[in-house]
Amino acid sequence: MKEQQSKNKKGEERWFESKSEITPHVQPIFQTSVYDYPDLESLDDYYNGRIPGGYIYSRNGLPNSNALGSRVASFEQMEKGLVCSSGMSALLVSTLSYLGKGDRITASNDLYGGTSVLLKDELTRFGIETTFVDASSPDIEIEGGTKLVLVETISNPTMKVCDLKTISKLAHDRGSLLVVDNTFATPFVVRPAELGADIVMHSGTKFLGGHGDVTIGLLCGRSKEMQRAAQFNTRVGTIAGPFDCWLALRSLATWEIRVKKSCENAIKLARFLEDRKDKVSRVFYPGLDSHPQHRLASRIFSRGMYGGMLSFDLRGGLGAASRFVKSLEKITLTPSLGGVNTTISHPGKTSHRHISEQQKRESGITDAMIRVSVGTEDYALIEEEFERALGKA
Ligand SMILES: *Cc1c(COP(=O)(O)O)cnc(C)c1O
């Protein structure tokens, strides 16, 4: 903190005075919406960028969000990070910062439900049209005039994997930016920047937050693009508050061991479910040989880990899905993901509730589909729960 800002007219001591002997072990929560300035000249210094790391008003930036953004950018090996109030606001910022009336987006037809609604029902009202394509297809095409391409590393709920290297080349040939939602995979599984992504987005609400207690979004990218995104974030006010940033930063101390354990448990559970052919007709997990993009996933997921998310279809239809859910004792029906506890969700009744039957069929979503966010428990406990519930399904 700069000394100018730490001077207190009332003479009160401030913990962050540069001469202070107090050194907090972790960053404290800066629960302040604004900072005092000693004189007019120091205001000029702030606006002219002569106070590096200076702060003025929390919508323009606050210490907790700067620390969080930098940390996530370092995991993604990108220059700069930016924190938004949710994953959705991060997506809004990642599109509207760069696009205007008449511009086109090419996006995966298999996006998170909230994202496709944002593109279809909101951005179109502002004259930004989206072409939806099968981003997992090897013959993907990007329409001329596309200014931004938006895909997810691993899609929901059928866990399709997209070939980021090919897509980034196609996008860049068109002169468009590639934005990758890396929420499901996390940088533990893959770092999209290494495959050509220009901007990487996270719903920090999921694996990076990891405890089901914070809603937050993140963007990472090169300084140039992030500077523009930060300006837009400040102008529209989609910033996250200090406490949410602090919680998310705290979670980042353990994200890697949490995600690693989830991945290890997920491959075991996927194999267990695949062996239960009596009850389970299909398992969707990129780590399985039976997954349509398994070879691609093995090539781009350099650690040989395939994420903590999987889905499966029960043989007995909606009735079996309902009995399965009721028979679980410790695992809860929770329409989110990425937490330390294993949770399940039913895409047909939650994220894909409002799409047509035909669209559901096309996306491979059935009434008997259960999606699992595999947690960090001792694997034996997870299998025990699944074994019991499958017995009743
Ligand atoms: C949850 C989620 C989002 C939206 O994030 P929020 O934090 O809920 O706003 C976007 N993309 C994916 C893949 C998600 O899982």
Domain segments of the chain as ranges: 252-392
> Which of 85, 154, 159, 203 maximizes ligand 1 atoms within 8 Å of its Cβ, making it the mutation to test the pocket?
203
Which residue puts its alpha carbon closest to atom 2 of ligand 1?
203
Asked if 226 and 81 touch (Cβ cutoff 8 Å), the reply is: yes
Which residue puts its alpha carbon closest to atom 11 of ligand 1?
112
State residue 52's pLDDT score.
78
State residue 18's pLDDT score.
55
Q: Is the pLDDT of residue 173 over 70?
A: yes
Q: Which residues of 120-157 are buried (b: 16+ CB within 10 A; e: fewer)?
A: eeebeeeebebbebebbeeebebeeebbbbbbbbbbbb
Distance (angstroms) between ligand 1 centre and the Cα of 203 equals 5
pLDDT tens digits along 19-78:
556 788 999 999 999 999 999 999 999 999 888 778 999 999 999 999 999 999 999 999
362 pLDDT tier (thresholds 50, 70, 90): confident
State residue 13's pLDDT score.
53
pLDDT tens digits along 279-298:
999 999 999 999 999 999 99
Mean pLDDT confidence for 228-250: 98
Q: Is the pLDDT of residue 7 over 60?
A: no
361 pLDDT tier (thresholds 50, 70, 90): confident
What is the DSSP code string of 366-384? -TTEEEEE--SS-HHHHHH
2 pLDDT tier (thresholds 50, 70, 90): very low
328 pLDDT tier (thresholds 50, 70, 90): very high
pTM for this prediction: 0.94
Q: Which residues line ligand 1 (CB under 6 A)?
A: 86-88, 112, 114-115, 152, 156, 181, 183-184, 203, 205-206, 215, 217
**Which ligand 1 atom lies nearest to the CA of residue 111?**
13
Mean pLDDT confidence for 322-343: 97
Mean pLDDT confidence for 166-190: 97
Q: Is the pLDDT of residue 1 over 50?
A: no
Which residue puts its alpha carbon closest to atom 7 of ligand 1?
87
Q: Is the pLDDT of residue 4 over 50?
A: no
Token pair listed for 220: 């990472």
Superfamily classification of domain 252-392:
Aspartate Aminotransferase, domain 1 (3.90.1150.10)
Q: Is the pLDDT of residue 326 over 70?
A: yes
State residue 9's pLDDT score.
61
